[in-house]
Amino acid sequence: MKIFPEKKYLIDLKNESSKTLSDLQKETLSDEQFIVKWNKIFIGKVSQNGFEIKLAKRIFGSFCVVKGKIENKNGMLEIQISKIYKLLLRILVLFLISGFVISLIRGEFETSLKIILLILGYRLLIIEFWFRMNSKKSMNELTKVIGIIKQEKNKAQHSI
């Protein structure tokens, strides 16, 4: 089991890549700008054959990052947790692990068992739950904007 989940998709689109990326560009605010109020769906970068975007929602909108490459009417998407949240979650795990080691040194085995259960619950409930909710929301919004006809989960291990 990976600590941080990710999803990969192969997609088919309604329009050609240039039209699709143009539509996505219209709904994407550049991540190099600082704007207090925005009316765009995404924040990120859109290039000639790919993109890297996140939802433009406050706090948890940036939890997942969607990376994509589009060629003709086909594309490949990869959804993963953003680097900032990975760093924060790793720090939290390190605190839990240090508590586990300290409880083992002190001989408090009941406390160390509670910490192990806390780490597992943290991974399954918090990380997986937020990732699934946010990635589903990202895919729904992306489907509306770029017109995804068909999506299938990609089992391949190559990265974008």
**Using alpha carbons only, what angle is made at residue 115 by residues 110 and 116, rounded to the nearest 5 degrees?**
100
Asked which of 72-81, 98-107, 118-127, 130-139 is least confident by mean pLDDT, the reply is 118-127
| Percentage of residues in the chain having pLDDT higher than 70 | 91
Confidence of residue 158 (pLDDT cuts 50, 70, 90): very low
Residue 25: both structure tokens together: 């560009």
Given pLDDT bands bounded at 50, 70 and 90, which one contains residue 35?
low
> Could you tell me where the DSSP H helices lie in 5-154?
17-26, 83-106, 109-121, 128-146
The 10s digit of each residue's pLDDT in 51-88 is 999 888 777 778 899 999 988 888 899 999 999 889 98
| Contact by Cβ (8 Å): 70, 43 | no
Q: For residue 31, what is the DSSP state?
A: T
How many residues does the structure list for the chain? 160
